[in-house]
A = this chain, B = another copy of it.
């Protein structure tokens, strides 16, 4: 967990290399704090080498003095004077080697203990080992291992020949992890003069550099060395309490105060300047309603709670930052957790190589590789021929709609001498669908509460049957509109979750015939109605997300497509689309959000056009891709510019977005083959040998949790697939209001105090951020949320629902 306390100013000290004076300068910082009579804590999380040379001993020796409150501590100690990972290995004490999580927890615990003892302004310095990327005990390099703590940093620069390079590179590696760098300390080497170069360099980047006189050459005689060192520290930390290291102290105090003040001012400033998406500002009553996100890591935000703590009169020793579980995967975008270094580096390398480059009639490796991957190996496998890039799911859908309407029109307009587009076309879709907020995407949805002045819904929307788990029974619920076709049936038991999604087997069921008749009669009715002429079938396969996490019966979607495609008496030659062009909006459901690479194999049909976004870029930045079959493409291919798909955005196929997508897909495909997923699938009875990425129905939520959830009084229906959990709150029982999901679950927002071994970074109690839709509550995991975090989240949800 990120740590920030009003009264305890903490800095971690990183070195640009080993042997750059990190311990000496940290000792001087500690001494300066002590000399100012400020209680000061020194922590060396990992020490390697003989104890008599240990850094905490050095601190105790030179920063301590009568009446000064200095506490030095080391958490993990290994004897060999080599990199921690190697020292651990050479020690034959494997049992003492903490995992990264345990390591961070140990440091965080130490910080928390320190903070709890702190009644007046205090300082804490945490000294890392070696260079910033030196591996810690587990082998993870320090800059990544310490990242969950997100501590402000003092970088000790390198004064040797070559030290300009190591200092700047270290700075850049710190930046790549988002660290706040408050100060660079380094020795004034009179010959190489690195400080002369680095002072303006960092000053331009808003970072203070404090050059300091170097110590003498180490003396052979220990007593003499000790005396000389004492003299040296007296120069760095003069008795006058001014200059030398006291400048650093003052600067670090200012940085700390500024950071707290900035965080504290953010809620009000946000309320004054920001216009949020989808938010009624009139309902955000107090600054404490605003989620101030200071940083994020893996599944957790680190949020400022100072403005809330004030309201609730928290103790001044409480942390001003707390972890918050990102329970909606940040609008369903997160795939592999926040701030994943691989994605940061992917973004950086494309930015460094190209910036953005003009795309029409051009090509570059990141876009080409992404297109090939999506078309040949990804969701386009087996049917797509081309990829069209745009910026978000909504623009991707606008492109898809333009493609489908043109494809339909060009086949269904006898002559087109004037090239006038047909304006009388509409789409066929499902009630509850959502495709984005630009007008074209909105026009492909029914008008409801989410509408606006230019929204002009063009088409017809069928009320779909849905799948859910009701008190242990997996059932398909049929809509009222289907009652006559279904002979009054309203609910059909379909056995297990796996059976519900075994579309192939269910094609022979009586229900399939009900669906066939229902769809056929609807198509007939629409044909008779005449206008708008239905020109495309648009579906969110399996789950309609924004419309309320509606799990549509997959058999119904399959039958719908089959009937539509068979509706054309003479299917076109060469495998072109038939009936209507079919669009799959996979923005929400794609790329393993539901545990499946893509939805076509499970449904047993492919679309003619598909749209992809959200997880595509791993939860880092916007990008959308619309895939199309060759028969769709050919509707635009001619010798006339006017027939072209006239759509584009300034940053179409920007290399940074494409490269991040490529990196995401590599990581995600590896995850799909990982032990973590094998274990999760095994819980749902999925054998390793099954063609798991294609059609296996399973969930990262555990079966026993789902079972418990379905049996709760407060819960009516439950559904889960892959990372998604959705449940309907019972709204007719005593005390529950309709649309009450938000209310029932609101205790989840607060961090629980009693958690003893939660899995938030650093073992801190955490709150949960989630979204609801009316009476539906839903939670989303990343594809790599750890099993322990899943367990904790599950118990929290059960506890919240039981207490209501």
Contacts and interface: CB of A to CB of B under 8 A. Distances in A.
A637 B15 CA distance: 51
Interface string A394-433: 1100100110011001000000000001110100000000
A359 B293 CA distance: 9
A731 interface: no
Interface string A351-368: 111111111111111011
A133 B168 contact: yes
Contacts of A341: 352
A136 B650 CA distance: 36
Interface residues of A, number: 172
Given A83-B192, A622-B650, A352 B164 contact: no
Given A131-B169, A176-B352, A296 B357 contact: yes
Given A274-B386, A353-B178, A620-B656, A642 B458 contact: no
A85 interface: yes
Interface string A162-202: 10111111101101111100000000000111000100000
A347 to B, nearest CB: 5
A162, A294, A328, A359: residue with the most chain B Cβ atoms closer than 10 Å: A162
A360 B279 CA distance: 6
Interface in A548-599: 587
22 contacts: A17-B162, A131-B165, A133-B165, A141-B165, A166-B166, A178-B353, A269-B368, A273-B368, A275-B386, A276-B388, A280-B636, A283-B639, A292-B362, A326-B358, A338-B356, A351-B620, A393-B650, A423-B456, A425-B453, A439-B439, A614-B650, A621-B657
4 closest Cβ contacts across the A-B interface?
A: A178-B353, A131-B165, A277-B648, A18-B162
B266 A368 contact: yes
B357 A162 contact: no
A253 interface: no
A628 interface: yes
A166 B769 CA distance: 39
Given A356-B620, A368-B273, A656-B347, A643 B280 contact: yes
A277 B452 contact: no
Given A131-B169, A650-B613, A455 B421 contact: yes
Contacts of A617: 651
B283 A641 contact: yes
Given A168-B133, A337-B355, A622 B620 contact: no
Interface string A619-639: 111100000100001001111
Given A178-B352, A273-B386, A278-B646, A358 B769 contact: yes
A301 B355 CA distance: 10
A608 interface: no
Contacts of A394: 395, 438, 649
B637 A453 contact: no
A370 to B, nearest CB: 10
A291 B192 contact: no
A13 to B, nearest CB: 14
Contacts of A192: 82-83, 86
A652 B587 CA distance: 15
Nearest to A139: B197
A340 interface: yes
A621 to B, nearest CB: 5
A401 B454 contact: yes
